[in-house]
Amino acid sequence: MPTFVDQVTLHLAAGRGGNGVASVKREKFKPLGGPDGGNGGQGGSIILEVDTSVTTLVDYHHSPSRRADNGGQGAGDHKNGGNGKDLTLVVPDGTIVTDVQGNVLADLIGQGTTLVIAAGGRGGLGNAALASSKRKAPGFALLGEPGDELDVRLELKVVADIGLVGFPSAGKSSVIAAISRARPKIADYPFTTLIPNLGVVTAGETTFVVADVPGLIEGAAEGRGLGHDFLRHIERCSALVHVVDTASIEPGRNPLDDLDVIEGELARYGGLEDRPRLVALNKIDVPDGQDIADMVVEELRGRGLRVFEVSAASGAGLRELTFAMAEIVIESRKDAAVVEPQRIVLRPQAVDHRGDFEVVATDDGWRVRGAKPERWVRQTDFSNEEAVGFLADRLNRMGVELKLAKMGAQEGDTVLIGSEDNSVVFDFKPSIEAGAEMLGRRGEDERLREDRPARDRRRDIAEAMETKAEEEARADVARRLDEERPKKGPNKSSGSSGVGPMSYEIGSKDDPDWDGSDDD
């Protein structure tokens, strides 16, 4: 079972918003209580938070799928649903968050830095919040929106001031154990450490972090061995310390060639040319090691490198090495900006920066894209006629119908709203915005029915107004049309006998559009 994991893919699903509720106040001795449906609660979000005490992503390796709580449903008597609880996932300092395409979403550095990686869905509005002068008691409510659902990749880049690099068995783990309280696994074998080790070092009044970066061998930058996996851990280091083995038992090895090989791999990896270098000639406690160190020290200094002869076993030279590291750290911290905890929220850009939506002609039909229309569709309960009519009104007020007409859409054309893999399909049917006289019983919308007498009557009056006499008003035209209907027989379009009063209460038996049922 792995104990150190520095790359993992997470499957995240934020909570869904709770649905609003359609409710009308019904209480004894209090008639006409009006709508009192509450709103749904917000869905829980998923948040990544930096915790410097965490050093691995192993928890997410074992359980990569995470889901936040859903929002609660609304209720009558103006009771809103409860918000879903946010899910906070702690990550190590230096975690990079990318999407599945490899695009960097955030670089999380600093204790307490947070990223809202998946936002919870909005709660749907209840009918109390949807009431207006036209809809005094809506018979519908809005559905809660689904929360964000996505896959992200977490990649850890160790945050350390100094990085120790060198061949396997050069003594990096021994050095970090000697200068700090880190206790890496150490043994006499020519194989590399399998995980990076971190140690906190104090030199005088300066405290800094040293990382032992494993896996560097010839060809590491091209993926040979483990170098390709761990080279990224030195990207954040202020300086690099070459730990060179002066007492290698492998034939054909010498300190100068080892140094050149590691520098070649760093150059091929790229981006590390400006980091200061120190050289630690390790294992001088071995007689042959001291002799070889004496042979190469002057040549290394001739290259402009600061060289220290050290022994992780006896502690010789380590104090001078740590104070040299501290000098570099102090200089780098002078120019470094102070890292303050911050809260990052991902906000996707709108599809069309010039407006709230765009209409595109496709092989499948007219596709409407935009944050608002797509959100409105997700909020609509398509089993409720009045809710569908409300959606039509919103799209009409936004200008969707006008845009479709200007682009050449004909009645009956297919209109799709949403992304290509999750679209809602409509038949284009231009309409007019609903008024109070257009609404039937709660939960119904006359415009969604083929037999629409009120609409047909208004159209007849509008056509007659074009040929009316100069002294006639609209009421006179309507009266004349009503008087003419008996001569033509029953009016099939209006559903009436052709005789109707000019003054009536909407919804009463005198209303020519009355369907014969009691109004709720």
Annotated binding site for Mg(2+): 173, 193
Cα 446 to the center of its chain, rounded Å:
40
Residue 383 one-letter amino acid: S
Torsion of CA 220, 224, 226, 230, to 10 degrees: 40
Q: How far, in Å, CA of 381 to CA of 49, rounded?
A: 36
User: Which distant-in-sequence residues (6+ apart) come within 8 Å of 36 by Cβ?
Assistant: 23, 24, 25, 76, 77, 78, 128
* CA nearest neighbour of 428 among 369, 365, 384, 382: 365
Residues within the annotated binding site? 166-173, 191-195, 212-215, 282-285, 311-313
**CA 316 – CA 284 distance, rounded (Å):** 8
How far is residue 241 CA from its own chain's centroid?
A: 39
Judged by phi (left if over 0) then psi (alpha if -120 to 50, else beta), residue 299 lies in alpha
Distance in angstroms (rounded) separating the CA atoms of residues 261 and 263: 5
Q: By C-alpha distance, which of 312, 227, 327 is closest to 276? A: 327
What residues are designated binding site for GTP? 166-173, 191-195, 212-215, 282-285, 311-313
Dist. CA 281–CA 245, nearest whole Å: 6
The rounded distance, in Å, linking the Cα atoms of 421 and 242 is: 53
How far apart are alpha carbons 82 and 106 in whole angstroms?
30
Which residue from 246, 276, 270, 271 is spatially nearest to 258, judged by alpha carbons? 246
Asked if residues 396 and 433 have their Cβ atoms less than 8 Å apart, the reply is yes
Q: Residue 502, Cα to own-chain centre: how many angstroms?
A: 58
Residue 447 carries which DSSP code? Answer: G
